[in-house]
Homo-oligomer: A and B are copies of this chain.
Amino acid sequence: MNVDFDLAAVYVSDAQYNRNIFFDTTPEAIRLYLLYNHWVLRIVVYAFIIADLALAIFEDPAVIPLPIWATTLIELVCLAVFTVRLVHYAKVIPRERFWKDPKNICIIVIILLSLVDMLIYGSLKATGYFAVRWSRVLRPLLLVNVTEGRQLRRAFRSIRNALPQILYVFLLFMFSVLMFSLMALKLFGKKGLTTNDGGAYFNDYLEIVFDLYVLVTTANSPDVMMPAYNSSVFFAVFFIIYILINTYIFMSVFLAVVYNNYKKYLKEEVRQLVRAKRHKMVRAFGVLQERKGEEGPVVTQASWNQLVRLVQPDISNAHRELLWSVSDDSNKGCIGKVAFVQLADLLNMQVIVVKSRPHPLQMWLPSLYLSSPSRLICRMVRHRLFVYAFDLIILVNAVFIGLDEENPLIANAEWAFLALYLLEILLKLYTFEPRAFFSKHEFWNWFDTVIVISALIATIINSVLKSSGGYTSRQILDIVFILRVLRLIRVVDSIKRFRAIINTLIKIGPTILTFGQLIVVVYYIFAMIGMELFKGKIRFFDAESTDPEKAFCGNPLLKNSLFAKHNYCKNNFNNVVSSFILLLELTVVNQCGFTAVTHVSARIFFVLFHIVVVIIIINIFIAFVLEAFFVEYTVDKSNLQSCLEKKIEELELGVKQDHLVGNLVDAMETDDNDMGTSESTKAKPALMFKIASKRYKTVDGLLQRMFEADLDPEDFAEDEDFDPNNPSNVTFPNPNFDSV
Which residues on A are within 8 Å of B, measured CB to CB? 168-169, 171-172, 175, 179, 182-183, 185-187, 196, 205, 218, 221-223, 226, 229-231, 233, 236, 240, 243, 247-249, 252-253, 255-257, 259-260, 398, 401-402, 405, 478, 481-482, 484-485, 488-489, 492, 497-498, 501-502, 505, 512, 540, 543, 565-568, 570-571, 577-578, 581, 584-585, 588-589, 591, 618, 621-622, 625-626, 628-630, 633
Q: Report how far A405 CA is from B256 CA in the complex, Å.
A: 40
Q: A196-B565, A226-B570, A240-B581 are in contact. List 20 more A-B contacts (CB 8 A).
A: A172-B492, A172-B501, A179-B489, A182-B401, A182-B488, A183-B485, A185-B402, A186-B478, A186-B481, A218-B588, A218-B589, A222-B585, A222-B591, A226-B566, A248-B618, A253-B625, A256-B630, A259-B626, A260-B629, A260-B630
**Nearest residue, chain B, Cβ from A591:** B222
Pairs across A and B, CB under 8 Å, 26 listed: A179-B488, A182-B488, A183-B485, A185-B402, A186-B478, A186-B484, A187-B481, A187-B482, A218-B589, A221-B588, A222-B588, A222-B591, A223-B566, A229-B581, A230-B540, A230-B567, A233-B578, A236-B581, A248-B622, A249-B512, A252-B621, A252-B625, A253-B625, A253-B629, A259-B626, A260-B633
Q: Report how far A626 CA is from B259 CA in the complex, Å.
A: 9
| B629 close to A222 (CB less than 8 A) | no
Q: Report how far A578 CA is from B233 CA in the complex, Å.
A: 8
| A233 close to B187 (CB less than 8 A) | no
Distance in Å from the Cβ of A180 to the closest Cβ of chain B?
8
Residues of B within 8 A of A255 (CB): 622, 625-626
Given A187-B481, A566-B196 in contact, is the A622-B230 Cβ separation under 8 Å? no
Q: Report how far A625 CA is from B619 CA in the complex, Å.
A: 14
Residues of B within 8 A of A248 (CB): 618, 621-622
**Nearest residue, chain B, Cβ from A256:** B629
- With beta carbons under 8 angstroms apart, the residue of B179, B568, B630 that contacts A485 is B179
| A230 close to B626 (CB less than 8 A) | no
| A183 close to B482 (CB less than 8 A) | yes
Residues of B within 8 A of A571 (CB): 222, 226
Q: Report how far A169 CA is from B248 CA in the complex, Å.
A: 23
Residues of B within 8 A of A622 (CB): 248, 252, 255
| A175 close to B233 (CB less than 8 A) | no
**Nearest residue, chain B, Cβ from A240:** B584
Residues of B within 8 A of A236 (CB): 581
Q: Report how far A568 CA is from B172 CA in the complex, Å.
A: 32
Residues of B within 8 A of A249 (CB): 505, 512, 625
Distance in Å from the Cβ of A162 to the closest Cβ of chain B?
12
Distance in Å from the Cβ of A511 to the closest Cβ of chain B?
12
Q: Report how far A265 CA is from B179 CA in the complex, Å.
A: 39
| B243 close to A625 (CB less than 8 A) | no
| A498 close to B171 (CB less than 8 A) | yes
Given A221-B585, A505-B253 in contact, is the A568-B402 Cβ separation under 8 Å? no
Distance in Å from the Cβ of A245 to the closest Cβ of chain B?
9
| A182 close to B402 (CB less than 8 A) | yes
Q: Report how far A480 CA is from B498 CA in the complex, Å.
A: 58
Q: Report how far A621 CA is from B245 CA in the complex, Å.
A: 13
Q: Report how far A398 CA is from B178 CA in the complex, Å.
A: 10
Residues of B within 8 A of A243 (CB): 584, 588
Residues of B within 8 A of A578 (CB): 233
| A478 close to B187 (CB less than 8 A) | yes
| B169 close to A501 (CB less than 8 A) | yes
| A221 close to B589 (CB less than 8 A) | yes
Residues of B within 8 A of A252 (CB): 621-622, 625-626
Distance in Å from the Cβ of A450 to the closest Cβ of chain B?
17
Residues of B within 8 A of A540 (CB): 230
| B172 close to A502 (CB less than 8 A) | yes
Q: Report how far A233 CA is from B488 CA in the complex, Å.
A: 26
Q: Report how far A205 CA is from B168 CA in the complex, Å.
A: 48
Distance in Å from the Cβ of A558 to the closest Cβ of chain B?
15
Given A169-B501, A482-B187, A497-B168 in contact, is the A543-B196 Cβ separation under 8 Å? no
| B233 close to A577 (CB less than 8 A) | yes
Q: Report how far A502 CA is from B175 CA in the complex, Å.
A: 12
- With beta carbons under 8 angstroms apart, the residue of B231, B401, B478, B568 that contacts A226 is B568
| B485 close to A186 (CB less than 8 A) | yes
Distance in Å from the Cβ of A670 to the closest Cβ of chain B?
15
| A230 close to B543 (CB less than 8 A) | yes
Q: Report how far A260 CA is from B622 CA in the complex, Å.
A: 14
Distance in Å from the Cβ of A15 to the closest Cβ of chain B?
32
| B485 close to A172 (CB less than 8 A) | no
Residues of B within 8 A of A257 (CB): 629
Q: Report how far A236 CA is from B398 CA in the complex, Å.
A: 24
